[in-house]
Amino acid sequence: MSKTRLRNGIQTFLSEAGEAACYALCLIDIAEEYSGKHIDVLDSLFNAVDRGYIHYNADDRNDDNNFFVEYPGLFLEMMTGVKWDVRKEAAFYAPKDGEYCVQRWERKKTGNILSHFQRKDFEPIEDSLTAKYGKIVSQRILIPHKKEA
């Protein structure tokens, strides 16, 4: 596929990213913070989907797993050039120096559980109702490996 033209279905892709890519966007924010460089969001999402780091079923826009980050460490490595360790911690865990944190929020709505990811200083969705009316249920802790000389 030509890299000089937009992909077919890009508007659908962007719409779905707006609905479900909160964890991926938090990881891009971490990569920018870590590297001190601007990272192109759209290129990063497409590259991660192409490599299988993020699930995206272009044939089914209602696939509940669209934009599920299968391999967050590899996604971060793709953007930063550094390997990352990723683990899940409890809501009350206090991150240590050198650890990056993404909070997982949940709220109940009419018998369903809605989830959302955000960082303390980065909200992919402004005024998220899940964050406003829900609670933090866990955290993803991301730790970069030392850069090799």
Q: Over 78-133, what HEC string results?
A: HHHCCCEEEEEEECCCCCCCCCEEEEEEEEEECCEEEEEEEECCECCCCCCHHHHH
Q: Distance between CA 48 and CA 55 in Å, rounded? A: 9
Average pLDDT, the chain: 93
Share of the chain above pLDDT 70, in %: 96
The model's pLDDT over 28-69, given as tens digits with 9 standing for 90+, comes to 999 999 999 999 999 999 999 999 999 999 899 889 999 999
The reported pLDDT for the residue numbered 9 is 82
- Tell me if residue 13 falls in helix, strand or coil: helix
**Single pTM value for the model:** 0.92
Q: Is the pLDDT of residue 82 over 90?
A: yes
Q: What is the pLDDT of residues 104-123, one digit of tens each?
A: 999 998 888 999 999 999 99
DSSP characters over 37-58 = S---HHHHHHHHHHHTSB---T
| DSSP 8-state assignment for residue 149 | -
